[in-house]
A and B are shown apart, each in its own frame.
Chain A
Amino acid sequence: GESVGLHLPTLSVQEGDNSIINCAYSNSASDYFIWYKQESGKGPQFIIDIRSNMDKRQGQRVTVLLNKTVKHLSLQIAATQPGDSAVYFCAETSTSYDKVIFGPGTSLSVIP
Chain B
Amino acid sequence: DSGVTQTPKHLITATGQRVTLRCSPRSGDLSVYWYQQSLDQGLQFLIQYYNGEERAKGNILERFSAQQFPDLHSELNLSSLELGDSALYFCASSALSGYGEQFFGPGTRLTVL
Contacts and interface: CB of A to CB of B under 8 A. Distances in A.
B102 A3 contact: no
Interface string A11-52: 000000000000000000000101010000011111001010
Contacts of B38: 5
Interface string B35-51: 00011111111001000
A99 B102 CA distance: 13
Interface string B97-109: 1111111111100
Interface residues of B, number: 30
Contact of B98 (A44, A93, A102, A105): A93
Given A44-B90, A46-B102, A98-B55, A3 B2 contact: no
Contact of B104 (A4, A45, A99, A104): A45
Interface string B1-39: 010100000000000000000000000000001000011
